Structure 1
Amino acid sequence: MIQHFQYKNMFENKQLPGWTFSFYFSGLKYQGNYHKDGRVEWTGPTPPVEKEEILIKQVHELMLFHVYD
């Protein structure tokens, strides 16, 4: 389960889409960029292959809730 999820705008001009995010999963911190098309780009350690798809789905759901509500 994702813990301590945080996000912020990637650009000062808030009209430009793009966000940075971070969270903890299994005691490790993960960071990335969330693009307007829903693509996730990891900027730090990459999650294990068997968990990556699940984590991307959770990030997408959290971003939809926080950004597009």
Structure 2
Amino acid sequence: MLQHFSYKPMFENTQLPGWTFSFFFKSVRYTGEYLPDGTIKWLGETPPEEENIKKMIHELMTFHVYD
């Protein structure tokens, strides 16, 4: 489970899509970019169980951003 998930727009002009996000997984902090096409670009270390984590991030972003 992801803990302390947070995100913010990459650009001040909120009409330009793209977000940066961060979260903790197994007590390790991970950061990345969520691009408009749903692509996730990791900034730093790639988390274990990457595919499962990507699914969780997609669900959270869909709920928070596209709702």
TM over 0.5: yes
What residue number does 1:30 align with? 30
Match of 1:20 in 2: 20
Aligned equivalents of 2:28 and 2:44: distance in 1? Answer: 11
| Cα-Cα RMSD | 0.5
- How many Å apart are 1:28 and its aligned residue? 0.3
2:64 aligns to what?
66
Query: Which amino acid is 1:10 matched to?
Result: M
Moved more, 53-62 or 39-48: 39-48
Give runs of ≥4 in structure 1 deviating > 2 Å. none
Aligned length: 67
**Structure 1: 5+ residue stretches without partners:** none
Deviation at 1:56, TM superposition (A): 0.4
Per the alignment, in what secondary structure is the counterpart of residue 57 of structure 1? helix
- Aligned residues with identical type, % of pairs: 63
TM-score by length of 1: 0.95
Gaps of 5+ in 2: none
